[in-house]
Chain A
Amino acid sequence: MISLVRVDNRLLHGQVLETWLPRLGVKEVVVADDEAASSVLARAAMTLCVPPELPVRIEPLRAIDFGALAESDRPVLVLVRDVAQLAEARAAGLTPARARLLNVGNVHFGPGRRAVTPSVFLSEDEIRTLRELAAAGFEVEARSVPTEAPAGIDEIERRYAAAR
């Protein structure tokens, strides 16, 4: 089963390993990222930072079989780099039945982006993508760690509109 699909510009880091994995009882991490999959350095670094008993797969997004992940007994956490990759994942077979919850954890600031949480800065395009995903039946939330209160899609839009 897919416990969580998370958007994180930094992909695998402390927040994921120290907070989400124990909270969700995740037994496998899948990093769905073309750039990381093609980088020897990224693969080596990601493999060494996880505990030995936790398998980590680093694959191009299009190579991920979301159906197989959803049917597996092992709870899986899927990491993608940005919001656009969520739409890609949907095109590659991610459905609300396979993974209900989409978490937006860390999206770094850039020109044209506005803060919706202290760690998530979104563009207008990304807000639109998230709204489409919510309309398609996914539960969309923004928060970096499980102890933070989640902001749902309506709250994300409200904060985006209120932010300068």
Chain B
Amino acid sequence: MSPARVPPRTLARVFWRCLFLQAAWNRRGMQNLGFAYAIEPALAALYPEPGRRREALERHLQFFNCHPFMAAAIVGGAIHHEERVAAGEEPPGAAIRYKTTLQGPLAALGDGFFWTALRPFCGALGAAGALVVGVPAIVAAVLLYNVIHFSLRLGLFRAAYRGGDAVVPVIARLGLPLAADRLRAAGVALCGVAAAIVVLRGAGAAGAAAGIVAALVAGTGYAALVRGARLLPTAYVAALAGIAVAVAGHLHWSS
């Protein structure tokens, strides 16, 4: 029997299906249906015999949950192992062991890098940029985010398909936790820039008093956060206070 390989066209289909990993998210298996749906074309290519194909699909229906972007590495690596299972080089559980071992750590990496660093950074970039150049900055920020996450997904999928377990050192070399720290710091700085632009614009449009009030509201909000106030209520109160002061000032000066 020739060594079982998944054709490149099929790999492309699997990668495309990875993008819909969470479409059938459910409490019992979480991303299990999405994972089985994504890997199904590869299993069909590796196991032409219906009985074995069914068995393979069933093992990939077990619980799965990971960060949706990092999961590309798990789908790619699972195919790497399934090729060896189909060729009789590894036991049937090899791909499952790979999945269950990596889902947690890669989810942690993805949550830390994408959800708490890259996405807020791009949001802050769009917000600060929009104040300066308008809508194009928002388009650019959305593009930047998607180019980065899409190329990482594709790269991880390919590296894991080729190397299997060897994808872990590849991911380690990306240095995602450190990059996340830097992106978070840069995002915070951008938010500061955006706030400064708002204060300066306010002062320019409505006089120095408006600028001072805006700076006071922002400063009070910051002090509250430092003292341990919760983020969202504080932000809402600060925004409402700012609006109230603006309306009061407008009524006062226009009467």
Contacts and interface: CB of A to CB of B under 8 A. Distances in A.
Say whether chain A's binding surface is mostly helix, strand, loop, or mixed.
mixed
Interface string A109-131: 10000010011010000000000
B116 interface: yes
B177 A49 contact: yes
B178 interface: yes
Interface string B145-178: 0000000000000000000010011011000011
B28 A49 contact: no
Interface stretch (B99-107, B118-126, B202-210): B99-107
A13 B28 CA distance: 18
Contacts of B169: 44
Interface centre among A11, A49, A50, A118 (most CB of B within 10 A): A49
Interface stretch (A14-22, A95-103, A149-157): A14-22
B109 interface: yes
A149 to B, nearest CB: 16
Given A17-B112, A18-B112, A109-B29, A46 B105 contact: yes
A13 B107 contact: yes
Contacts of B104: 8, 10-13, 46
A51 B182 CA distance: 12
Interface residues of A, number: 29
A58 B122 CA distance: 35
Contact of A17 (B28, B101, B111): B111
A49 B27 contact: no
B129 interface: no
Nearest to A10: B104
Contact of A12 (B29, B105, B110, B178): B105
A18 B168 contact: no
A13 B109 CA distance: 8
A162 interface: no
B63 interface: yes
Contacts of B98: 41
Given A10-B103, A14-B112, A52 B63 contact: no
Contacts of B103: 10, 13
Contacts of A12: 104-105, 108
Contacts of B109: 48-49
Nearest to A115: B27
Given A49-B105, A118-B27, A10 B65 contact: yes
B50 to A, nearest CB: 25
B106 A45 contact: yes
Given A10-B65, A10-B107, A121-B28, A41 B177 contact: no
A15 B6 CA distance: 35
A108 interface: yes
B67 interface: yes
B27 A41 contact: no
Contact of A14 (B110, B165, B181): B110
Contacts of A46: 104-105
B183 to A, nearest CB: 14
A72 interface: no
Interface in A1-32: 8-14, 16-18
A140 to B, nearest CB: 22
Contact of A50 (B108, B116, B171): B108
A42 interface: yes
Given A11-B104, A17-B108, A109-B63, 13 more contacts: A13-B107, A13-B108, A14-B112, A17-B111, A17-B112, A41-B98, A42-B105, A45-B101, A48-B168, A48-B172, A49-B105, A108-B28, A118-B27
5 contacts: A14-B108, A14-B112, A41-B165, A48-B168, A49-B106
